[in-house]
Amino acid sequence: MLATLDRRVLLRAVLVFVIAAVGVTAVLTMGGAAEAASTDPSAAATTTAATTGGTNIIAQNFLNGIVFGLLLALASVGLSLIYGTTGLSNFAHGEMVTFGAMLTYFLATQQPVSLPLIPVEFTIGLPFIPAALIAVAIASGLGWVQDKVLWSQLRKRRVGMVQQMIVSIGLSLALVNLIQWWMGGRPVRLIQAVDPRHQYGPIQIGNQTLISVGIAVAALVGVAFFLQRTRLGRATRAVSDNPALASASGIKVDSIIRIVWIMAAGLAALGGILLALYQQGMSFDDGTQLLMMMFAAVTLGGLGHPYGALVGSLVIGVVAEMSTVWLPPDLKFATALGILILVLLVRPQGILGKAERVG
């Protein structure tokens, strides 16, 4: 039970991911070749557009997909850990993502800001990095508060899982509107400066994005290290496997769950800040939109499986970005959600999930 992650599972996951990526790329390249072969002038136009300025559109979209997938993974790892340890599908997780970005803006902006119901405007204007760090810290604290005030009480009252899920929906509705009330309906930009893109072979990427990816990878490796190597992490995986047994062997299930909440909220806030940088803005309901992607990722990877969230996020990110090569960009998310439904048809336990009866 406490054994390290099964190597076969990991191999299988990598294999599935590589095959999926290769498959998607192959289909797209062949589609592109077929289009080029046809005499349709619009198709010819697309192919020329695909290679302008030495940038290969397929490689570029693949890279964008990986970047988006990594940032999505930051947000969805927490969702998956919460599901694993408590069984709750937390619909209010998207708001934690928005909250991270909004709080950073609130702390860092030079514009006057205010709080709901308090008719005083003021400016805090911290430099960006301390503001982001404080925002992540406050968000983690909020995760602790949320669990202390709400979820642990519900667990104590033995409120059913379905009811808890509906409670989280109510919380999501309340929070998203609270954020709109607080920050208004327009998207906010965390950093005003435009991030210039540099050309590396067939792809372009900005420095800011590179740093974001670095932070995301470091955070994800940190989570993996925590889960694999530390006592607390091992206890977390034990609770995730079987709470009753974990409790019987002397693990304090409730404090483990609280740590998971703190981590989940902090990671979501960090993901939100990085996403706001990557997309150059965040509006009050972006996190709620993203929740769909997170659920798709977590379900795809295997509900409750911490590494499943990573694999699922990368697949969703790549699929969403690659689809824009041949589908209109406003159908990006619809495609990703379509993939989710298809996967549930074939493999309902997700890519990494154990083959078990789930109904």
Residues that bind another protein (CB under 8 A): 89, 116-119, 154, 157, 159-163, 165-167, 169-175, 177-178, 180-181, 288, 292, 295-296, 299, 327-328, 330-331, 333-334, 337-338, 340-341, 344-345, 348, 358-359
Min dist CB 290 to another protein, Å, is: 11
Q: Across the strands, what pairs with 118?
A: 115
Residue type, 84: G
Q: Residue 90 or 204: which CB sits closer to another protein?
A: 90
**Angle, alpha carbons 256-134-292 (nearest 5°):** 60
Q: Which residue number, 72 or 296, has a Cβ lying nearer to another protein?
A: 296
Close Cβ partners of 196 (under 8 Å, ≥ 6 residues apart): 206, 207
Residue with smaller CB distance to another protein, 151 or 266: 151
| Residue 104 C-beta: closest distance to another protein, Å | 21
Q: Which helix (H) or strand (E) holds 69?
A: helix 57-86
Eight-class DSSP state of 331 = G
- In the complex with another protein, the residue whose CB is nearer, 57 or 340, is 340
Least distance CB 296 / another protein (angstroms)? 6
Which residue(s) pair with 188 in the sheet?
Answer: 282
Find the shortest distance in angstroms from Cβ 113 to another protein: 14
Beta-strand runs (E) in 112-174: 113-115, 118-122
Determine the Cα–Cα distance for residues 103 and 95; give it in Å rounded to an integer: 12
- How far, in Å, CA of 116 to CA of 258, rounded? 28
- Give min distance, CB of 157 to another protein, in A: 8
d(CA 262, CA 276): 21
State which residue, 26 or 145, has the beta carbon closest to another protein: 145
